[in-house]
Amino acid sequence: MLRDHYIFSNGRLKRKDNTIYFFDQEENKKSLSVHQTDNLYVFGEVDLNSSLLNFLSQHDIHLHIFNYYGFYAGTFCPRNKKASGFTVVQQSAHYLDLEKRLYVAKAFLRSAVHHMLRNIRRHKEKTEEYVERIEIEVQKIETAKSIQELMGIEGRIRQHYYQSFNAILKNDFIFEKRTKQPPQDPLNALISFGNTLCYTTVLSEIYKTQLDPTVSFLHEPSTKRFSLCLDLAEIFKPLIVDAVIISCINNRIITKKHFEFMEGMVFLNEEGKKKFIKEWDDKLSTSVQHRKLKRKVSYRYFIRLECYKLIKHFIGDEPYKPLKAWW
């Protein structure tokens, strides 16, 4: 089974024959199995060359780069071998037709809200008021006539949802307001770090299909970003990221000692990143019995299945029905 590898130390990534090696600053060598690698995540200062990038491209390995603070810098994506002009044209046609675009955008949002409510209903004795507020906003989704109106509904729902964390989380983690660039408290640092891992995972899964990651529906397409990743991540942030955050905090896997505090900025330290990533990987590899496929499917593969369902919708095979976790 393919897996992700994470590099936290400074050093060099090097290809030798048909193997990737990482050399740390003391020249200690570690080999990475190419045939078992899906993504490489680099959090340290790492040197590499074009020979390595060519090798990664040949084996469809994505390289995700983060800076010292754990903020996402960019991704090296191998040449897209799944490209389909027909699918891209149909995907773009659904973006250009407002009615068709709204259908897909509303589907993303309905799935996201389903998973948000799933999280907070597990603590219903403490979160009933937030559930009611979100349900009032949910009723407005069907009557929304524009993407801007839909994004406004999404913003209000997410605000109520994050406020409910104060009733769910233990150990002095408090939500005051969402701050991103940069995060200004430990909870926001966790949310930002987890969301970034979600975006890169979604991007990797999109690239294994014929979808174009730049043509989106809920989020406005623009230059310099893969906006379809943001759309699909709406489904999986509450299902995977937020579930991991709640578990890490309430089970004291991550505490305040796992953060670094600077003026106007908070971020996970190396130990904190490693602990979160372990829980993240465990969650992605967790399998669930799929009702239609009649076999077990990992959380990661559910992302790919969502891409396949979108393709079927765009080419007219089957109307898109977003994932709504039943387990």
pLDDT tens-place string over residues 53-74: 999 999 999 999 999 888 999 9
Mean pLDDT of 235-263: 97
d(CA 113, CA 236): 11
Residue 154, marked binder: yes
d(CA 237, CA 295): 24
Is pLDDT of 306 > 90? Answer: yes
Mean pLDDT of 292-304: 96
What pLDDT is recorded for position 68?
A: 85
Is pLDDT of 254 > 90? Answer: yes
What pLDDT is recorded for position 26?
A: 87
Q: Which domains does the chain have, with CATH numbers?
A: 3-76 (3.100.10.20), 85-314 (1.20.120.920)
Residue 115, marked binder: no
Residue 176, marked binder: no
Is the entire prediction scored with pTM above 0.85?
yes
Q: pLDDT tens digit string along 222-246?
A: 877 899 999 999 999 999 999 999 9
What confidence tier does 16 reach under pLDDT thresholds 50, 70, 90? confident
| The dihedral formed by the CA atoms of 255, 261, 267 and 270, expressed in degrees to the nearest 10 | -70
174 torsion bin: left (phi>0), alpha (psi -120 to 50), beta (else): beta
Beta strand 296-298 with 287-289: parallel, antiparallel or unpaired?
Answer: antiparallel
What confidence tier does 206 reach under pLDDT thresholds 50, 70, 90? very high
